[in-house]
Amino acid sequence: MLQRSSVVNTIKVNSASFASTIQLGDSRIINGFSRALAVQREADVFFAKEGNFSNYRTFSEPIPLLPITEKMSLSTHNPFPVIKVNNISILAMSSSAILHVGNSENVSLEARIKHIRQLQDNGNEHSQE
């Protein structure tokens, strides 16, 4: 793996949450994984045993990774082994996001979110309020 120095003058990240990574410098492996159930309800009703990820196929289906079949050619010349960044400003990063300044050999990021809306039956099927 290439080795270079990473120089960043200023970094401002207001919010980093839920498996987010801020990495300055080289890394051999970065793995980020996040899963969430996002439930929106019209009524405040809570059940004691809800929130089991195994109840939803979203969290167990394999992610298809297609092989790279194109021929690639890469030639680099780094007379100065330094990665220089002046300013980084990020409002928010979430759910397995990554900010990385440097070299990486292997990066794998995964975020799985199941959105559920539970609306009350008001007797009018065509109402979209």
Q: Using the 8-state DSSP alphabet, how is residue 46 labeled?
A: -
Per-residue pLDDT at 62: 93
* Residue 129 to residue 80: CA distance in whole angstroms: 60
Per-residue pLDDT at 129: 41
Q: Tell me which residue of 120, 112, 118 sits closest to 37, measured CA to CA.
A: 112
For residue 34, which amino acid is it? S
User: CA angle 22-25-26, nearest 5°?
Assistant: 110
Backbone angles phi and psi of 24, in degrees to 5: -110, 125
Per-residue pLDDT at 1: 61
* Residue 39 to residue 51: CA distance in whole angstroms: 9
Q: What does the block give as tokens for 27?
A: 């890394």
Per-residue pLDDT at 9: 95
Radius of gyration of the chain, Cα coordinates, nearest whole angstrom: 22
Model confidence pTM above 0.75: no
Kindly give the confidence (pLDDT) of every residue in the chain, 129 residues in length, as a single tens digit, with 9 standing for 90 and above: 667 789 999 999 999 988 788 999 888 998 888 888 888 888 777 776 778 888 899 999 999 888 989 998 888 777 878 889 999 999 999 888 899 998 888 888 888 999 888 787 776 554 444
Per-residue pLDDT at 109: 83
For residue 14, which amino acid is it? N
Per-residue pLDDT at 85: 92
Per-residue pLDDT at 128: 44
* Residue 103 to residue 2: CA distance in whole angstroms: 7
Per-residue pLDDT at 111: 86
Per-residue pLDDT at 127: 42
23 Cβ neighbours under 8 A, 6+ residues apart: 30, 98, 99, 100, 101, 102
